[in-house]
Amino acid sequence: MTTPRFDNPLSMKVRRIRPLVHSAILHSAILHSAILHSAILHSALALYALATMSLRLEAQDVTVVEAAVGQAAIGQAAAVKEDAKQGAKPKSDKGSEKVSEKVSEKIPRAFDRNRPEPEEEVEAPKKNAMVNFAMDPDRWTDVIYSQLGGSEATFEQQQRRRVRSTINRIELICTIDEKIREKVQETAELEIQRFKTEVLALATQGPRNPTQEEYSEFYNKVFKLTERFRQQNQPNAARKMPLWQKVLYSNLSDQNKEELEKDNRKRAEYRQQVVRLEVLLRISRRLGLTSKQREKLEPYTLSNTEAWKTLDQAWQTLQQFPEKEKREIFTPEQIQELKKPLEHSDDLQLVIREFGDDL
Amino acid sequence: MIARAFVRFCFCAIVSVGVSVGIPGGLCAQNAVPAIKLQAARIVVAGANAPANERDHVARKWVRGLIQQELNAIQNVCKLNEKQAKELVDLIETEWRTKFASVFRSYSEANQRGGVDFEFRVESAVKTWLREVESINEEQRSAWNYELDSRNELRRRIVIGKMVSDAERKFGLSSKQMKEVEALLHERWKEAWWIMYRNGTTPETKFAWISTALSEAQRTAGADTSGIRQEYYTSGGSIDLPSRPLADRFTVAGVTSDESIPLQPPPAADAPGQRDR
């Protein structure tokens, strides 16, 4: 059931005021002087005209409201009465303010043109700043992950793949229970999450407008944080075993561990042998060795593996060979050539990267 | 006429003296020739086949060094007699510059090594020269071919070894699988792999080539391409290439090239600013 109501607060006010105005006109006409009368008359007429206009508007502004709403309007009208006495602002305005606040909360900050100014002013870049934009934590996060060869997503992907690949390899040698597999994967996942938290914490500490010195100082921290993951690509001796590998290793039987160690040694030996052969080929190129001479030299590469890791080391080792052995392997021309030091060309830098292995 | 010619001569003489003693002034500054241009002009005057620049000179020294090394190896393997040695060494001394003209050009024009495989070019050239010397018999030639095959076999072992090491990281191979993959790659061997490797890149081991050696789990997981690839720059110029001065004649079995064959004038001796390598 609906009832038509006049719920315009202003019109309500005016309707109530109108009889008072009439009485005021009568009283004033009797009691006060002509000047006062005329002034009051003018004001009263003005008020009367306003009231009349308001009533006309009211007639057009008929709305259909629920009964409950109507009661609320009555309550509102009562409140208006009191407000009129106190000269305070009507409550309905406060309500509309609240609504507008709620609406403004829903507008995304990026699209809100009337958003308040930030309390803290953005610090202007220093004169000696490295970059002319602010290095916010997001940028620093990108910098940190770039040290590991990609983005955050790439890092996660790499780490998960690494775990999977290691488990797959181990399963070729010994069986791993599903429970252990899950445990290892969970540990790896935890390790990833921990690292991500560390990255975030460090990124928030990053200077916003770093100078060269500040950048270097912070970069050292980044280097230190990412070290353990970068070392995964280094030979075993130089790196610390990740936690998930420790978990995996501790859950294997002694026999399995032994088998794995054996396989690791074989794989490492394979890689080292390739490196030694490469050094031998370069020595051969430099000295012009024949296949027979290489055959004679190859056993030496096996007996002292450390000396055949680089061309420089191998060259020095050959220079220190006893004369008798030199004469057995090399020709006089080659022995003369061997006396010369290795010249380092600045045309091309020699870059050799080796990879360590997992378990 | 005579007076006019005399005046012109005097003018030219004054200008040339002004340039040589470095008299300051607009005229002399305009005629001043940069030192580099002067140096280049001097090299051109030295001979038509002379090195055009420092890189060209270095390349020539490397080529001569490699040829001499090959001659030593030929002597070790083939045991040339005096006649064979004389014919071979004279032929090489006559032809080496023209044979490697394109090599010198590409190296001198490139920024770095320019993808020039000196070793391969010298090997091919020496093989051709051995064929051209009629006095060298078939047995000697086959002995030398065996030597070249042996070298290639070593190169193959190295490149495939590098590829297997790369695959081990990418696919998580066990030692047994590494051997299997090695055999598979030997079957697929391409000479281009060695050239790639010489130029500093380990050829990629394709999944399809080695999938038969992988376990089901490894096949499902696929390759880990995210890691850093192995990079080996083995062609380190003067580190592993022997160098021989342009003034030294080729020698094999105690026989030196004929004195009548002109040697290339060494520009490094009088050209300022050239490094002696």
pLDDT in tens, B67-96: 999 999 999 999 999 999 999 999 999 998
Q: Is residue B272 part of a domain?
A: yes
**Segments forming the whole domain that contains residue B273:** 53-136+245-277
Q: How far is A209 from chain B (nearest CA, A)?
A: 32
Q: Decide if B174 and A285 are in contact by the 8 Å CB cutoff.
A: no
Contact between residue A179 and residue A200 where contact means Cβ atoms under 8 Å apart: no
Contact B231 A277 (CB under 8 A): no
Looking at residue B75, its amino acid is: Q
Half-sphere exposure of B108 (CA within 13 A, CB side): 19
What's the rounded Cα separation, in Å, for the pair B80 and B144? 11
pLDDT at residue number A206? 85
Q: Is residue B231 part of a domain?
A: no
Task: Residue B155: list chain A partners with CB under 8 A.
Answer: 281
In a domain, B78, yes or no: yes
Q: Is residue B150 part of a domain?
A: no
Q: Does B178 touch chain A (CB under 8 A)?
A: yes
Tens digit of pLDDT per residue, chain A (359 long)? 444 454 555 555 556 666 666 655 555 555 555 555 555 556 666 666 665 555 554 444 433 334 444 444 444 444 444 444 444 444 445 555 555 555 555 656 556 666 666 566 666 666 677 776 778 888 888 888 888 878 888 888 888 888 888 888 888 888 888 888 889 989 999 999 999 999 999 998 888 888 888 888 888 888 888 887 776 655 554 456 788 888 888 888 888 889 989 998 999 999 999 989 989 988 998 888 999 999 999 888 888 888 888 888 899 999 999 999 899 999 988 898 888 887 654 343 333 334 443 33
Supply B8's token pair. 């012109």
Residues B67/B119, Cβ–Cβ less than 8 Å: no
Q: Which chain A residues are within 8 Å of B173, Cβ to Cβ?
A: 169, 267
The residue in chain B having the minimum alpha-carbon distance to the alpha carbon of residue A312 is B239
Does B2 reside within a domain?
no
Cβ within 8 Å, pair A351-B175 = no
Q: Does some domain include residue B101?
A: yes
Q: Does A325 touch chain B (CB under 8 A)?
A: no
pLDDT at B247: 86
Chain B residue numbers touching A353 (CB-CB < 8 A): 228, 230-231
pLDDT in tens, B94-136: 998 888 888 888 777 766 555 677 888 899 999 999 999 999 9
Q: How many residues does chain A have?
A: 359
Number of structural domains (chain B) is: 1
- What was the pLDDT predicted at A118? 59
Describe the crossing of helices A243-250 and A152-173 by its angle, rounded to 10 degrees: 20
For residue A54, the model assigns a pLDDT of 53
Q: Enumerate residues 137 to 176 of chain A having a beta carbon within 8 A of any beta carbon in chain B.
A: 149-150, 154, 157-158, 161-162, 164-166, 168-169, 171-173
**Residue B96 located in a structural domain:** yes
The reported pLDDT for the residue numbered B263 is 82
CB B233 within 8 A of CB B202: no
**A230 Cβ under 8 Å from any chain B Cβ:** no
Q: Would you call B237 and A281 a contact, using CB atoms and an 8 Å cutoff?
A: no
Contact B221 A172 (CB under 8 A): no
The Cα A306–Cα A314 span in angstroms is 9
Which residues from chain A sit within 8 angstroms of residue B76, using beta carbons? 290, 292-293, 331
Q: B189 in a domain, yes or no?
A: no
A158 contacts in B (CB within 8 Å)? Answer: 224, 226-227
Q: Of the given ranges (B126-140, B149-163, B231-245), which has the lowest mean pLDDT?
A: B231-245
Instruction: Name residues 327-346 of chain A within 8 A of B (Cβ).
Output: 331, 333-334, 337, 342-345
pLDDT for res A207: 84
- Provide the CA A286 distance to its chain's centre, in angstroms: 51
Closest by CA to A228, choosing from A121, A147, A131, A330, is: A147
pLDDT at A122: 61
Chain A CA closest to residue B153: A291
Are A347 and B157 a contacting pair at CB < 8 A? no
CB contacts, 8 Å: B157 with chain A? 274, 277
